[in-house]
């Protein structure tokens, strides 16, 4: 667990603190981005909670000078964050399409069939495993959020409601549930004990099995000012080089990588058991490792430069919002993602700027955003109020949202995106 550290100085150096790297245990001395005080990004509020004290914690990301892992401190246990979770993957059409395309590709590439087993870690509501099951490939999901796991079970997906690590892997292995393919999409960032988590894959994977990990690429975060993807529920942010080093430490060897458009730029990393895995390393793996080095991800300096860019972005987005409100424009939001809560809280944007937001998920409708207390309605609210701007908070699915909400053009409404820069779309 990371300890709370002192504030950084202008050169990014943290003068006195006791925090240590989650992977290599090196003392953490350098700031990647300091986003001030913020609530937990997924701690949505019910109406009767609005007048109660709301906990805020430092949202301060560090970079390890030894392994270059970017990470934030743990202020709330994963059990409290994820045991009853508000995020259901199936409410994004583009994400469902991404999941089905993955299933088709893995079945073809690795010859999966009725005698295989696919295990997904953080299986959420069965958004991905349902496509394997439809093709008669046996599946098992591991998911710590009981409420989300129930949605998967309703799709006849077998689920184990537990956090994954060495102990869970041993239990599943003892029950004969070794995997031909393991997959973990957008979960490695959510793991405070990265060593225990990764070690579990080695224990459950068959000797010639394959594991794939998808995660937001820290290179994209840095190049495209995606500071809003930093929040307390995200404990770590990975480059290919650093993540490969973590896997190797636990007996897993990377043999391939794909660059994806999801979540603003992600990686899909393919790994196998060291010594028994049959796959040769690909040319695109070597190419991306070389590109990360060329762009400075193997040095500390580029990480330290990010903090000033974050401040500049804050000033630019506030300048736009202030000008729009001065002109009497009505601004509402679309979506209630965790990244949006980081953005709004860091910028100090509340319902005096954004009157409300909408979300397709009924699990969020009727609640309020943490910190800012902006109310969340169903998408039909936008047609009722006819705002001038619709701020797309999940900017990573901008095209999907713009297609769904094309009706705003009937009254000359426009779409607004604040990351990676302030942009207006008609």
Domain with residue 389: its CATH number is 3.40.50.720
Output 39 or 10, whichever has higher pLDDT. 39
CA torsion 241-242-244-246 (nearest 10°) is: 170
Residues 122 and 212 in one domain: yes
Classify residue 168: in a domain, yes or no. Answer: yes
CATH of the domain at 270: 3.40.50.150
Q: What mean pLDDT comes out for the span 200-221?
A: 97
Classify residue 218: in a domain, yes or no. Answer: yes
The reported pLDDT for the residue numbered 177 is: 98
Classify residue 367: in a domain, yes or no. Answer: yes
Contact 21, 64 (CB under 8 A): yes
Tokens describing residue 208? 């010639």
In 3D, which of 248, 350, 343 has the Cα closest to residue 289? Answer: 248
Give the 3-state secondary structure of 199-226.
HHHHHHEEEEEEEEEEEEEHHHHHHCCC
Asked if residue 12 has pLDDT above 90, the reply is no
pLDDT class of 11 with cuts at 50, 70, 90: very low
The reported pLDDT for the residue numbered 7 is: 39
Q: What mean pLDDT comes out for the span 32-54?
A: 95
The Cα diameter of the chain in Å comes to 66
The reported pLDDT for the residue numbered 4 is: 38
The reported pLDDT for the residue numbered 323 is: 97
**Ramachandran assignment for 302, one of left (phi > 0), alpha (psi -120 to 50 degrees), beta (any other):** alpha
Residues 332 and 223 in one domain: no
pLDDT class of 178 with cuts at 50, 70, 90: very high
Residues 246 and 124 in one domain: yes
Classify residue 414: in a domain, yes or no. Answer: yes
Residues 174 and 271 in one domain: yes
The reported pLDDT for the residue numbered 16 is: 36
Round the average pLDDT of the chain to a whole number and report it: 92
Residue that is written with structure tokens 């050169």 in the block? 11
Asked if residue 18 has pLDDT above 70, the reply is no
Segment 80-92, tens digit of pLDDT: 655 555 556 666 7
Residue that is written with structure tokens 């991800």 in the block? 297
Residues 219 and 356 in one domain: no
pLDDT class of 1 with cuts at 50, 70, 90: very low
Report the alpha-carbon distance of residue 289 to residue 157 in Å, rounded: 37
Residues 354 and 272 in one domain: no
Classify residue 39: in a domain, yes or no. Answer: no
% of the chain at pLDDT higher than 70: 92
Classify residue 23: in a domain, yes or no. Answer: no
Last residue of a domain, one of 244, 262, 280: 280
Lowest mean pLDDT among 47-61, 73-87, 231-245, 371-385: 73-87
Asked if residue 172 has pLDDT above 70, the reply is yes
Residues 183 and 243 in one domain: yes
Query: How many distinct structural domains can be found in the chain?
Result: 2
In 3D, which of 383, 150, 134, 418 has the Cα closest to residue 264? Answer: 418
Lowest mean pLDDT among 89-93, 344-348, 381-385: 89-93
Last residue of a domain, one of 248, 265, 280: 280
Residues 333 and 275 in one domain: no
Last residue of a domain, one of 223, 251, 280: 280
Residues 275 and 340 in one domain: no
Bridge partners, residue 258, by sequence: 268
Residues 269 and 368 in one domain: no
DSSP sequence for 237-288: EB-HHHHHHHHHHTTEEEEEEEEE-GGGSEEEEEEEETTT--PPPPHHHHHH
The reported pLDDT for the residue numbered 222 is: 96
Strands of 92-154 (E only): list them: 118-121, 139-142
Q: In a 10 Å sphere around its CB, with 0-12 CB exposed, 13-18 middle and 19+ buried, how is residue 35 labelled?
A: buried
Tell me how crowded residue 124 is: count the other CB atoms within 10 A of its CB: 25
Report the alpha-carbon distance of residue 276 to residue 347 in Å, rounded: 50
Asked if residue 56 has pLDDT above 50, the reply is yes
Classify residue 309: in a domain, yes or no. Answer: no
CA torsion 289-293-297-302 (nearest 10°) is: -160
Tokens describing residue 381? 């609210």
Structural domain boundaries, residue 385: 327-425
Segment 313-342, tens digit of pLDDT: 999 999 999 999 999 999 999 999 999 999
Residues 110 and 196 in one domain: yes
Asked if residue 9 has pLDDT above 50, the reply is no
Report the alpha-carbon distance of residue 195 to residue 198 in Å, rounded: 5
Residues 249 and 361 in one domain: no
In 3D, which of 392, 278, 270, 406 has the Cα closest to residue 335? Answer: 392
Q: What mean pLDDT comes out for the span 9-13?
A: 40
Classify residue 338: in a domain, yes or no. Answer: yes
């Amino acid at each position: 667990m990371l300890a709370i550290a002192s504030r950084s100085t202008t050169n990014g150096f943290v003068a006195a603190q006791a925090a240590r790297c989650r992977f290599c245990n090196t003392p953490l001395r350098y700031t990647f981005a300091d986003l001030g005080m913020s609530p937990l990004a997924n701690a949505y509020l019910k109406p009767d909670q609005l007048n109660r004290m709301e906990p805020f914690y430092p949202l301060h990301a560090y970079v390890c000078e030894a392994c270059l892992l970017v990470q934030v401190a743990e202020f709330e246990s994963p059990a409290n964050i994820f045991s009853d979770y508000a995020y259901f993957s199936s409410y994004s059409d583009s994400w469902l399409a991404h999941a089905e395309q993955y299933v088709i590709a893995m079945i073809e590439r690795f010859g999966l069939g009725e005698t295989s087993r696919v295990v997904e870690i953080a299986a959420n509501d069965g958004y991905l495993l349902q496509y394997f099951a439809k093709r008669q490939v046996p599946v098992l999901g591991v998911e710590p959020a009981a409420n989300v796991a129930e949605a998967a079970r309703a799709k006849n997906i077998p689920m184990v409601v537990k956090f994954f690590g060495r102990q869970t892997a041993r239990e599943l292995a003892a029950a004969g549930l070794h995997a031909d393919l393991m997959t973990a999409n957008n979960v490695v960032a959510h793991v405070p004990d990265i060593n225990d988590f990764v070690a579990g894959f080695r224990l459950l994977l068959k000797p010639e099995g394959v594991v794939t990990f998808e995660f937001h690429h820290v290179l994209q975060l840095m190049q495209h000012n995606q500071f809003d993807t930093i929040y307390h529920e995200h404990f770590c942010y990975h480059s290919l080089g650093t993540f490969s080093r973590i896997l190797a430490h636990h007996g897993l060897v990377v043999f391939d990588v794909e660059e994806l458009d999801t979540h603003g730029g992600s990686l899909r990393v393919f790994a196998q058991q060291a010594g028994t895995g049959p796959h040769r390393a690909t040319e695109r793996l070597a190419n991306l490792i070389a590109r990360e080095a060329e762009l400075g991800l193997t040095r500390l300096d580029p990480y330290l430069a990010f903090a000033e860019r974050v401040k500049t972005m804050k000033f630019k987005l506030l300048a736009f919002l202030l000008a729009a409100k001065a002109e009497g424009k009505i601004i509402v939001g679309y979506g209630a993602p965790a990244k949006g809560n980081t953005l709004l809280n860091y910028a100090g944007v509340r319902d005096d700027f954004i009157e409300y937001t909408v979300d397709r998920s009924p699990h969020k409708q009727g609640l309020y955003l943490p910190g800012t207390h902006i109310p969340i309605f169903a998408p039909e609210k936008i047609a009722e109020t006819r705002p001038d701007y619709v701020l797309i908070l999940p900017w990573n699915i901008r095209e999907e949202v713009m297609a769904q909400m094309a009706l705003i053009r009937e009254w000359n409404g426009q779409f607004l995106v604040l990351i990676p820069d302030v942009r207006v779309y008609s």
